[in-house]
Amino acid sequence: MSTITIEVDEELLARARQLADAREMTVPEMLERLLRVMSQPPMRRSDLPPLTRQALGMLPPMTDEQVEKILDEERTRKYGP
């Protein structure tokens, strides 16, 4: 594993420590997690589940029956028939 050194304002470092403490991790662990997330390729809209796309306004409105069908399909996929 490599080591990096950065310089930050004391106030920023204090806020970062508070944030890390609230998440029960260290500042280096929090920064590593941030870098992992930020380095992921962007998610395409087509990668999102239908209900998420619906919630984001990317699909036309669905009927209750359509929503129930999608939920049933996802339950079956996750838990089996």
> Tokens 């500042």 appear where?
27
Question: How many structural domains comprise the chain?
Answer: 2
Is 26's pLDDT higher than 90?
A: yes
Q: What is the mean pLDDT of residues 4-16?
A: 95
Is 12's pLDDT higher than 90?
A: yes
In this prediction the pTM is: 0.53
Domain with 29, as residue range(s), is 1-40
pLDDT digits (tens, 9 = 90+) for 27-79: 999 999 999 988 988 878 788 888 887 777 766 777 888 888 888 888 888 88
Shared-domain flag, residues 4 and 32: yes
Which CA distances in Å does 55 have to 74, 75, 76? 17, 19, 22
Contact 27, 16 (CB under 8 A): yes
Shared-domain flag, residues 7 and 36: yes
**Nearest to 16, CA basis, from 1, 39, 33:** 33
Q: What is the pLDDT of residue 5?
A: 93
Q: Which residue has the higher pLDDT, 4 or 42?
A: 4
